[in-house]
């Protein structure tokens, strides 16, 4: 068995083990589906232009429809403005594809990563605007740390979930400027303090942290990832969802906190076998019970995620 397959198998066993808590009768359940990196440029672009955005997501529509919200990591700006930052890999997707993403069922897009700034601040601001106009809620964006670190609330009935989004790495040729469009890129200390204060003020709201972190192509989390995960769990985070390594990393628990270190890619054009294994994760939330998690393993074929037979 390949190392990546072992990681996924262990992840599934751990999830089923921590998903056995009973739920109160009559309580509405809120389900939120998370995916890894969505790239709509480079090798994916000609497919999107020829066959449409809906084609890229048609195999996962059933999983999207089972969920109250769908959160993807948007790994490119959506803008017709061409103003590239000086960096090695530079992406850009068409502005009108924001509406197509909403039509396939995507409700939220994480922007705190190392590529939504590829077309500069104007491109980043345009991405926020196009997503918002299409009905997709951006995460991790703002003109100050207070705005960038403000969580997005996802609610259903009596269920309230605050979703934070941050990138935990230096961004190439990019500097934080107060008052200018940017994404949430805090120090670990600042992030932990922000979450702890939010938890103190909102003790009944569940907290999910979406992090762009880790080392590319490493099948296991780094020591920095593990240390930060532990500190966030102590600060009151209920679940941590990660991406950036482009490969699947293990699922773990820290006390009652669920940790998915990396979901891998999702819509992407990389060729190494380990980069074409990925997973979706659905968090199921009910008042008075532990959050449970469904893991949906998938493989990427022709840049599209295809759920694996159960």
What is the residue-wise DSSP string for 45-104? HHHHHHH-HHHHHGGGHHHHHT-SEEEEEE-S-B-S-----SSSS---B-TTHHHHHHHT
Which pair of tokens denotes residue 293? 């998690």
What is residue 3's predicted lDDT score, i.e. its pLDDT? 43
Residue 50, pLDDT score? 98
The Cα–Cα gap between 280 and 34 comes to 6
Residue with tokens 């008052």: 179
d(CA 202, CA 223): 30
Sorted by sequence, the CB contacts under 8 Å of residue 84 that are 6+ apart come out as: 90, 92, 118, 119, 120
Q: pLDDT tens, 159-212? A: 999 999 999 999 999 999 999 999 999 999 999 999 999 999 999 999 999 999
pLDDT band at 20 (very low <50, low <70, confident <90, very high): very low
Which architecture, in CATH terms, is 3-18+29-307? 4-Layer Sandwich (3.60)
Of residues 14, 90, 83, the one with CA closest to residue 281 = 14
The CA distance from 196 to 182, in Å, is: 23
Q: Are 78 and 93 in contact (CB under 8 A)?
A: yes
Q: Of the candidates 262, 306, 286, 307, which has an alpha carbon nearest to the alpha carbon of residue 32? A: 286
How many whole angstroms separate alpha carbon 251 and alpha carbon 149?
A: 25
Q: What is the pTM of this model?
A: 0.93
As a whole-number percent, the residues of the chain with pLDDT over 90 amount to 88
The three-class DSSP label of residue 124 is: helix
Indicate the DSSP class of residue 157.
Answer: T
Percent of residues, the chain, with pLDDT higher than 70: 91
The DSSP call for residue 205 is S
Q: Which tokens sit at 306?
A: 């295809």
- Residues with Cβ within 8 Å of residue 127, at least 6 apart in sequence: 74, 77, 78, 79, 111, 116, 138
Domain ranges, ordered by start, for the chain: 3-18+29-307
| Residue in the structure block whose two tokens are 């960096």 | 87
Cα separation, 296 vs 230, whole angstroms: 25
Give the pLDDT confidence of 44-76 residue by residue, as tens digits: 999 999 999 999 999 999 999 999 999 999 999
Q: What is the pLDDT of residues 208-254, one digit of tens each?
A: 999 999 999 999 999 999 999 999 999 999 999 999 999 999 999 99
Q: Where are the alpha helices (DSSP H) in 94-252?
A: 97-103, 120-134, 145-148, 188-201, 223-235
Note the maximum CA span of the chain.
Answer: 56
Cβ-contact 288, 27 below 8 angstroms: yes
- pLDDT tens-digit series, residues 71-80: 999 999 999 9
Please list, in sequence order, all residues whose beta carbon lies within 8 angstroms of the beta carbon of residue 242, skipping any fewer than 6 positions away. 210, 211, 212, 213, 214, 221, 225, 249, 259, 260, 261, 262, 263
**197, 124, 50, 107: CA torsion to nearest 10:** 30
**What does the pLDDT read at residue 290?**
85
Q: Tell me, what's the pLDDT at 310?
A: 64
Cβ contacts of 179 within 8 Å, gap of 6 or more = 143, 144
């Amino acid at each position: 068995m390949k190392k990546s397959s072992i990681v996924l198998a262990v992840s599934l066993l751990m999830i089923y083990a921590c998903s056995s808590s009973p739920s109160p009768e009559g309580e509405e359940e809120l389900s939120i589906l998370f995916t890894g990196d969505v790239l709509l440029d480079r090798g994916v672009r000609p497919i999107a232009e020829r066959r449409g955005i809906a084609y890229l997501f048609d195999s996962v529509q059933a999983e999207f429809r089972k969920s109250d919200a769908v959160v993807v990591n948007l790994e490119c700006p959506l803008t017709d403005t061409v103003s590239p930052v000086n960096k090695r890999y530079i992406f850009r997707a068409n502005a009108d594809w924001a509406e197509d993403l909403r039509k396939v069922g995507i409700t939220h897009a994480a922007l705190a990563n190392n590529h939504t700034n590829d077309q500069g601040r104007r491109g980043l601001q345009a991405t926020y605007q196009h997503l918002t106009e299409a009905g997709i809620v951006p995460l991790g964006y703002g003109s100050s740390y207070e705005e960038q670190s403000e969580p997005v609330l996802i609610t259903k009935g009596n269920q309230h979930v605050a979703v934070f989004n941050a990138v935990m790495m230096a961004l190439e040729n990019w500097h934080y400027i107060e008052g200018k469009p940017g994404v949430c890129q805090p120090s670990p200390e600042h992030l932990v303090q922000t979450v702890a204060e939010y938890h103190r003020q909102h003790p009944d709201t569940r907290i999910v942290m979406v992090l762009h972190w880790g080392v590319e192509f490493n099948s296991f989390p780094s020591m920095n990832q593990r240390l930060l995960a532990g500190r966030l769990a102590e600060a009151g985070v209920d679940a941590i969802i990660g991406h950036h390594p482009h490969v699947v990393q293990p699922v773990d628990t820290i006390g009652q906190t669920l940790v998915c270190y990396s979901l891998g890619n999702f819509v992407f054009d990389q060729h190494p076998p380990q980069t074409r294994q990925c997973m979706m994760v659905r968090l199921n939330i009910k008042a008075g019970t532990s959050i449970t998690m469904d893991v949906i393993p998938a493989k990427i074929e022709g840049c599209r995620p295809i759920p694996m037979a159960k």
